[in-house]
Structure 1
Amino acid sequence: MFTHTAIANLNALELMIYNYVIKNKDKVMYMTIRELADAADVSTTTVMRFCKKMGCDGYSEFRIRFKLSIEQEIHQPVNFGVGEIVSFFNSINNKVFEELINQAVIHIANADRIVFVGAGSSGSLGKYGARFFSNVGKFSNYIDDPYYPVSTDTFKNSVAIILSVSGETQEILRLASQFSLHACKVISITNSETCSLARMADFNLSYHMPQTVVSGRHNITTQVPVIYILEAIAHRLAKIHLSK
């Protein structure tokens, strides 16, 4: 019931409800609206807005539909991240997200060069993306140094695919700005489409996963959605390459 389009339209407070709901599925179906509001640290009015955005007339309908969706799911062993990942794949199993992937492919298909950009774990995923895209016939490389110099001619008719969970890392934002300045198209893959990087990019794909930060600064938010998005784009590029 949580579609990618619906989640993308949630504001910060409504996302707090969504994150609480998918982490506490067994509790939520029995909660009153006041209990859910208190648990998510929002108002009951915000809960009602959330329900409306999920396509429900009110909280009672939301709770019934949510309970039915839980009962229809295939029960899996309780492992870290399973609920969140299942919710992600349920949310993108629609034509809207498929069309977003297709739009990304259109941006990439005719580029002479693909450059993956990221720092930390996103840098490692950039390296993976470059290798995977090269496997399907679209030569790519990666930059995991946030201070890498971007010159005028090097990235002409290129696409920079910039990966960032928060989309707020200053060094990455600086690189994105430099790519745009030198006429290089920017595609961002971020956790939120309202972050600074997403707003700077020519095109954004977001995955809306609950963020997990340890020790106040180490982001260990699951990157499974990013891998899926990269591979989905690459497979479509492979079809284009084979048809030529």
Structure 2
Amino acid sequence: MLEKISAVKHLSDADEVLQNYIFRNLETIFTLSAREIAAQIPCSPSTVTRFVRKCGFDSYHDFQRYVKNEVSKVAGQGMTDTISLEGIFVNQVFAENVLEQVEMVSELLQQSSFIYCVGMGSSGVMANYAARKFNTIGYKAMHSNEPYAPFLSTQMKEGDSVIIIFSTSGETAEIIELVRLLKSTSKHIISITNTHDNTLAKLSTINIPYYIENQRLPYNFDLSSQIPTVALIEYLVAFCFNKK
């Protein structure tokens, strides 16, 4: 375990102290900043970052992720937040509060008896992918790319079910009609849309928007990227798994 850290040679006295501190605090070390570790040693934050580079990491964040992954393997968790939204997308594609939104959605999903993932077209593919991932980590989930599928009128009677709706525009007529129907049953509706200024977002319990350029061809063919949606699904699933 932690071969990249234990295999470093030609350590200075300060490096040896840091190495020992890391191995004595494996459960918390990846939650601490370089400045916080330096204060515990004590040493300068630059000493910590230099040691991290000696271990072969490009950044302190890579070091934290490596340690977290290694500790998770030993603990038998086997899954970590492999998509780092805060490092990749925040302030670029997602809103600043996206991590808070993910946590709120996670709490709703943990309390639910069933998760319904709905979308049409390319968003329907995302709904399928999300349901598959949730089933993999032990949640009961199903998907539909037909907003009027029979299950919506039968199993939707479960009071603690949650609906996750994927829609790039947030204005698809069939989806809006479905959501208005579901609103009358007091269901929790989570929507994932491109921008927050659309009808679906306003009708949702929680909306997680992303912000990329729409790419639509004649006859309404949609080539808009689904990469932000995939990243969000991956992060949400990992977050839910680690909270179970």
Q: TM-score scaled to structure 2, two decimals?
A: 0.59
1:160 matched residue in structure 2: 163
Structure 1 position 155, deviation (Å): 3.9
Residue among 135, 148, 151 paired with 2:153: 151
Question: What is the rounded CA distance, in whole Å, between the counterparts of 1:95 and 1:143 in structure 2?
Answer: 30
For residues 1-244 of structure 1, the aligned pairs below 5 Å read 88=89, 91=92, 96-149=97-150, 150-151=152-153, 154-241=157-244
Question: What is the rounded CA distance, in whole Å, between the counterparts of 2:103 and 2:182 in structure 1?
Answer: 23
Contact map agreement 1:213 1:219 (CA 8 A) in 2: yes
Contact map agreement 2:95 2:209 (CA 8 A) in 1: no
Structure 1 position 183, deviation (Å): 2.3
Spell out, residue by residue over 1:5-57, the C-alpha distance to the aligned partner (whole angstroms, 9 max, x if none). Answer: xxxxxxxxxxxxxxxxxxxxxxxxxxxxxxxxxxxxxxxxxxxxxxxxxxxxx
Question: What is the rounded CA distance, in whole Å, between the counterparts of 1:156 and 1:183 in structure 2?
Answer: 8
Question: What is the aligned residue count?
Answer: 156
2:11 matched residue in structure 1: none
What's the secondary structure of 1:91's corresponding residue? Answer: coil
Per mean C-alpha deviation after superposition, the further-off stretch among 90-99 and 179-188 is 90-99
What's the secondary structure of 1:151's corresponding residue? Answer: helix
1:9 matched residue in structure 2: none
Unaligned runs of 5+ in 1: 1-85
What's the secondary structure of 2:99's corresponding residue? Answer: helix
Question: What is the rounded CA distance, in whole Å, between the counterparts of 1:157 and 1:108 in structure 2?
Answer: 9
Q: Answer with 1 or 2: which has the greater Rg.
A: 2
Structure 1 position 109, deviation (Å): 1.5
Q: 1:156 to 1:219 in 2, by over 3 A?
A: same
Question: What is the rounded CA distance, in whole Å, between the counterparts of 1:237 and 1:129 in structure 2?
Answer: 12
Contact map agreement 2:191 2:201 (CA 8 A) in 1: yes
Contact map agreement 1:155 1:179 (CA 8 A) in 2: no
Question: What is the rounded CA distance, in whole Å, between the counterparts of 1:93 and 1:142 in structure 2?
Answer: 24
Aligned partner of 2:153: which letter? Answer: S
Per mean C-alpha deviation after superposition, the further-off stretch among 162-171 and 152-161 is 152-161
Question: What is the rounded CA distance, in whole Å, between the counterparts of 1:206 and 1:103 in structure 2?
Answer: 14
Q: 1:87 to 1:209 in 2, by over 3 A?
A: farther
Contact map agreement 2:93 2:228 (CA 8 A) in 1: no
Contact map agreement 2:124 2:144 (CA 8 A) in 1: yes
Structure 1 position 90, deviation (Å): 5.5
The share of aligned pairs that are identical, in percent, is: 28
Spell out, residue by residue over 1:94-113, the C-alpha distance to the aligned partner (whole angstroms, 9 max, x if none). Answer: 97322221122122211110
Contact map agreement 2:95 2:210 (CA 8 A) in 1: no
Structure 1 position 186, deviation (Å): 0.3
Structure 1 position 180, deviation (Å): 1.8
Aligned partner of 2:146: which letter? Answer: D
Q: TM-score scaled to structure 1, two decimals?
A: 0.59
Question: What is the rounded CA distance, in whole Å, between the counterparts of 1:202 and 1:94 in structure 2?
Answer: 17
Aligned partner of 1:190: which letter? Answer: T
Aligned partner of 2:145: which letter? Answer: D
1:6 matched residue in structure 2: none
